[in-house]
Amino acid sequence: MSAPFGRRADRWLRLALLAALLCGGGALALLMAWVRSPLHTDEGKVLDQPVQFDHRHHVRDDGIDCRHCHFDAWRSPTAGVPGTALCMNCHRQVLVDSPLLAPVRRSVATGEPLRWRRVHDLPDFVFFDHRAHVRRGVGCETCHGRVDRMAQVHTVASLGMAWCLDCHRDPVPHLRPLDRITEMGRPPSRAEGRVIADALDVHPPTHCSTCHR
C-alpha cells in the first residue's frame, strides 16, 4: 500500500497551513476545494455528480433499456447523457417530491442543464465513434462493464491505444447479435462472434488515421 499522502499532497498541506496563518477560515475553504480537485481523485474512481443517479435502480430494478437514455449511441459518435426533460417524463409521477431530485426539477424550471462530470474522457486527439461499434455488434458491456450493477459509473478498461488495437486486430470474440447490444450479463462467445463477423463483414481498421484524424 502506498502512503496516503504523496509529495504533492504535502505541498498542498503546507500551502494550506501557511494560508491558515495568514487568513484563518480561508485555509479551510482551500482544503475543502483540494479534496474535491482532480489532483486528489484517482483515475478510475467515481466522481461526485450533481444528482446521485444510480444505474442499478434504473436499469436493473426498473428494466429501463440503455437506449431509452443513450439513444445517440446509434446515430452519432457520442452516446450522450439525457437532458432533464427526459428524467421528468417519469419523475413527474415517481419520487415527485424527493430532495434527491431537486436539482433535476430546478434544471427543468430554469432551462439550465445539469453539469454531469465525465467518467470516460479520451484525449482530444483521439476519434471515437459509438455508432460504428454498436451497429457492428460490439455491446455496451464489452467496453463499459456491468453498468447495471454500478451505483456510480466507473471505467472498467484502460481506454488506452493498446486496448483499442487489441480488439481491432481480433474483434471476433467480442461480437454479439445486434438485438443484444444493451444486454448485460451474457458476454458473447467466439463461435457466436464468428457468425456475426461473417454476416456483417466486420473488419475494424488499424491504420493510424482511423483514430487520429
Binding to ligand HEC (CB under 6 A): which residues in 64-93? 64, 66, 68-70, 73, 78-82, 86-87, 89-91
Minimum Å gap between C-beta 42 and ligand HEC is 15
CB distance 87 to 102 below 8 Å: no
Cα gap 114→23, rounded to integer Å: 34
- For residues 30 and 138, which CB has a smaller minimum distance to ligand HEC in the complex? 138
107 touches ligand HEC (CB under 6 A): no
- From the list 153, 140, 16, the residue with the least C-alpha distance to 67 is 140
| Interactions with ligand HEC, residue window 23-42 (CB under 6 A) | none
For 154-185, b where at least 16 C-beta lie within 10 A, e where not — what string? bbeeebeeeebeebeeebbbbbbeeeebbbbe
Considering the rule CB under 6 A, would residue 96 count as an interface residue with ligand HEC?
no
Q: Does 99 bind ligand HEC (CB under 6 A)?
A: no
Least Å distance, CB 6 to ligand HEC, is 21
**For residues 16 and 147, which CB has a smaller minimum distance to ligand HEC in the complex?**
147
Cβ distance to ligand HEC smaller for residue 16 or 66: 66
Residues 164-183 that bind ligand HEC (CB under 6 A): 164-165, 167-168, 171, 174, 181-182
Would you call 84 exposed, middle or buried from its count of C-beta atoms within 10 A (0-12, 13-18, 19+)? buried
Q: Which of residues 111-150 bind ligand HEC (CB under 6 A)?
A: 116, 118-123, 126-130, 132-134, 136, 138, 140, 142-144, 147-148
Distance from C-alpha of 213 to C-alpha of 210, rounded to nearest angstrom: 7
How near is the Cβ of 84 to ligand HEC at its closest, in Å? 6
Distances (CA, A) of 66 to 73, 140, 153: 10, 9, 13
